[in-house]
Amino acid sequence: MNREMITTLTKAASISSCASTGSETDSDCSHLPDRPVKAQVRRGSNLSKTQHHLTGSFLFDDSPLPPLPNKPSSSTNPINERLVHNHLKNQGPNVSMFYRADGGVVAVKGEGAIIYEPDGSSYLDCANNVAGCGHSHPLIVKAAVDEIQNIMTNGRFLHPLRDAYVMRLLATLPPELDTLYLVNSGSEANDLALRMARQYSTSANPDHVICIDCAYHGHVQSVVDVSPYKWRQCTDGNAESYHKEHVHVVSAPDTYRGPYKTGAEYADEVKLVLEDTGGVGAFIHESILGCGGQIMMPDGYLPAVYDAVRSSGGCVIADEVQTGFGRPGTSFWQFQHYGVTPDIVTMGKPMGNGYPIGAVACRREVAERFAASGIEYFNTYGGNSVACAFGNAVLDAIEQDGLQENARVVGEYLMKRMRSLKELPSGVEFVKRRRTDYTGEDIIPHEKLCRYVVDFLKYERIIVSRDGPDGNVIKIKPPLVFTNGNVDSLVNGMKQALIEAEKTGYF
């Protein structure tokens, strides 16, 4: 195997960093190969001084892959065939589906890190951080069922479960973040965070936002606005219309393939936007860029950006929807890894182990300025007692099963095993040549090889996803109950895929 051709980004030291996947995000690239034309997205035209670097299109090559070696296809299974047919006929044509080209995955039961299809066959789930504590965790299921039998109503009523949950969740955060709003999803959390930031900011342009190229923050309009990952998928020639005047896009701080090699240089780009505009209401960032290709923030980047944004009267929102709840292993939240404390933190996904729940945590001062408008905040389902039963039980499970520590230990093992293939950590980037300096010019993303490996793994009954602007990053984001044995299955499967790919002449 020509090892020069698989290169990696050392993005994290635990399964924590195995952030996003198509299954529950956003970030399922499986629909993208259907798209024939590359979109042109305006390059930060409102950043006169800022050189903004787009690093890819998210519109992937759809040329056929070589045949997988004697593998059965799910698309010939009658149940898959019917469900795919109905999905395409009865739901919106762009509703995301995992492995669409190969009959999808019919997930009717889950247990730990395993997903079962109706016929009892199973997949190892390496792509699911919604069921962070593992599918159908008994403690969580019981707590939820108990509460469903008691009452289901709106958040205006007081409830002891909610009271307990709010206090417990706040206790996981730095003491400055002492106020919570409960919502129903990551998108809602980010929408609320932007609203609060606008109200809180004393900058010249409180409704302006800086976001990172390739970011994904959710599916409602306000957060699609700050999700360049989404605009890039646009193929109807209207990509420009998605880039709103109040949104300023800075380069993804990728020190491997991006234009700069240090966090300080990327932070300078943000400072230029602040100078240019006279200040913005908010800087919003994922703590690891999931759809951007599992990119960790480089040293020094966030501290410098936070200082600059705050000095100009704005505030900072950390989107922990993918990365929170013990996944970092060494900390409960990923922002803690960088030594910063945001003004607002948003969360969701693993928060309810599959039940829809999200939250916005903020400094009291931010909440007070938000409330000063006099507008009451009401959310029908946000903080309902069933959601809080799920939330409390998730915290119980993380504690009782030692899941944060498991993430650290198994994450380290994953890194070690991946490195034995070459150096493959949580996000695995396939390139044709490895560069020797930071010019970035001799790195050629190998999207096809990445697709081949993802497809091969599916036939080996292992679910992973791929992402990144060039579709050449495999994302590994298993439930935190993942074991060393699961790691072995995954890595052995990848090794087999690479051996087969070599036989086909892919290397």
Ligand X SMILES: Cc1ncc(COP(=O)(O)O)c(C=O)c1O
Q: Which residues bind ligand X (CB under 6 A)?
A: 20, 25-26, 185-187, 190, 216-219, 286, 290, 319, 321-322, 348
CB 66 to ligand X: min, Å: 31
Of 345 and 415, which CB lies nearer to ligand X in the complex structure? 345
Of 319 and 470, which CB lies nearer to ligand X in the complex structure? 319
3-state secondary structure string across 105-116? CCCCEEEECEEE
Of 211 and 234, which CB lies nearer to ligand X in the complex structure? 211
Of 269 and 286, which CB lies nearer to ligand X in the complex structure? 286
| Interaxial angle between packed helices 263-277 and 301-311, expressed in degrees from 0 to 180 and rounded to the nearest 10 | 20
CB 466 to ligand X: min, Å: 15
CB 319 to ligand X: min, Å: 5
Q: Is the dihedral of CA 499, 501, 505, 507 positive or negative?
A: negative
**Sheet strands (E) in 52-208:** 109-111, 114-116, 122-125, 177-183
CB 357 to ligand X: min, Å: 9
Instruction: Report how far Cα 438 is from the mean position of its chain's Cα atoms.
Output: 26
Residue 25 CB burial class (10 angstroms; 0-12, 13-18, ≥19): buried
Helix (H) or strand (E) holding 160: helix 160-171
Of 23 and 80, which CB lies nearer to ligand X in the complex structure? 23
For residues 179 and 362, is the Cβ–Cβ distance under 8 A? yes
Of 217 and 432, which CB lies nearer to ligand X in the complex structure? 217
- Residue of minimal CB distance from ligand X? 186
Of 23 and 312, which CB lies nearer to ligand X in the complex structure? 23
Q: Is 137 helix (H, G, I), strand (E, B) or coil?
A: coil
Amino acid at 307: D
Supply angle C-alpha 11, 13, 17, rounded to 5. Answer: 60
Kindly report the length of the chain: 507
CB 26 to ligand X: min, Å: 4
CB 21 to ligand X: min, Å: 9
CB 20 to ligand X: min, Å: 5
